[in-house]
Amino acid sequence: MDEYVPLARIQLLLRSAALALIALSPSPSNVAAKPQFAAMFVFGDSLIDPGNNNDLNSLAKANYAPYGVDFNGGVPTGRFCNGKTIIDYLGDLLELPLLPPYTSSSVNSGNIHGGVNYASAAAGILEETGQNLGERFTLSGQVQNFDNTLNQLKGQMNEQELSHYLASSLVVMVLGSNDYINNYLQPSFYTTSYFYTPEDYADLLIQRYRRQILALHSLGTRKFFLGGIGPLGCIPNQLATGLSSPGKCVSFVNDYVGMFNVRLRSLVDQFNRDYEGSIFVYGNTFAALGDIIRNASTYGITVTDRGCCGIGRNQGQITCLPFSSPCTNRNQYIFWDAFHPTAIVNQILASKAYGGTPSDCYPMNVQQMAQK
């Protein structure tokens, strides 16, 4: 069964105005309510991969215990978390069904009307990102997979129906973290840091990202939520490098991803000016997760600098291995493993995306997008 937050913790969480929106998640009495979008199509990396990497020749997999210990009866699904991902919680808030991974048999049989999740662990914006971990669906590959889904939909709807369906659907894109963790910050494997300054590299990423976003737009999608990169300098994997002082994040890593985020927000402004009738939103993951780290006690969290499951310094030098024993107080941890947040943090982030202020979502939140 999914993890339930104790009442005492809910009361503590609600001291933060941002968390008041958790109460909006659907109850058993309204799960049959009409979805707020026709469907949700998701593109991204391991933060939101629901199991697409399970059958790939990849080191980036989470289809083993203790992953999923608090989800689906404790049976691992391939989610890089102890429970639900941000996408799962956002889908709950939008009254959408649990999205199937692109590689599932249900997608092949045409069960795609509520949307599909194409996210793949180790994927990045650049084609070569993550190749050190083996096979993955790159961003361009994920866009191609969406085109395959579109061909299925064309056999189920007429042209007018499909156009309205796509324009009424939500596209969520969460990429960029691996372009740093599994590319730019690994000079022994990748050459990008030798050829690009941090500023030039951020420009390169935005240029390539822009191309793929517009490819999706050209296929008929009109509502985009583009998640920024979180404070990577604060994850256990980076803290374990010893490049920061105790209790401090790795500042230069956060500076690098900050350059990307500034450009992504500017891209959202440009898109909203250039494409009338479409909506592009920037999800400020950096600020949202940073707030949880800085004000952890407000959210009922006590452990901010190490993984619940992992090995070595900050439980981040080696990530969660098969049949490891994770911490038991998972709701008090920000990080599940060396790279990924716990389910409770995913729930908070989804709530901020759904109904947050302009500091969380710019220029509007997902709930407001649904009403446009």
The 3-state secondary structure of the chain, one letter per residue = CCCCCCHHHHHHHCCCHHHHHHHHCCCCCCCCCCCCCCCEEEEECCCCCCCCCCCCCECCCCCCCCCCCCCHHHCCCCCCCCCCCHHHHHHHHCCCCCCCECCCHHHHCCCCCCEEECCCCCCCCCCCCCHHHECCCCHHHHHHHHHHHHHHHHCCCCHHHHHHHHHCCEEEEECCHHHHHHHHCCCCCCCHHHHCCHHHHHHHHHHHHHHHHHHHHHCCCCEEEEECCCCHHHCHHHHCCCCCCCCCCCHHHHHHHHHHHHHHHHHHHHHHHHCCCCEEEEECHHHHHHHHHHCHHHHCCCEEEEECCEECHHHCCEECCCCCCCCCCHHHEEECCCCCECHHHHHHHHHHHHHCCCCCEECCCHHHHHCC
Cα separation, 74 vs 246, in Å, equals 34
Per the annotation, the verdict on 92 as an active-site residue is: no
The catalytic position among 179, 305, 340, 351 is 340
Per the annotation, the verdict on 46 as an active-site residue is: yes
Q: Is the dihedral of CA 237, 243, 247, 248 positive or negative?
A: negative
Per the annotation, the verdict on 163 as an active-site residue is: no
The catalytic position among 244, 337, 351, 360 is 337
The catalytic position among 46, 177, 244, 351 is 46
Where on the phi/psi map is residue 153: left (φ > 0), alpha (ψ -120 to 50), or beta? alpha
Among residues 195, 181, 64, the alpha carbon closest in space to that of 132 is found at 181
Would you please indicate which residues are annotated as catalytic (active-site) residues? 46, 337, 340
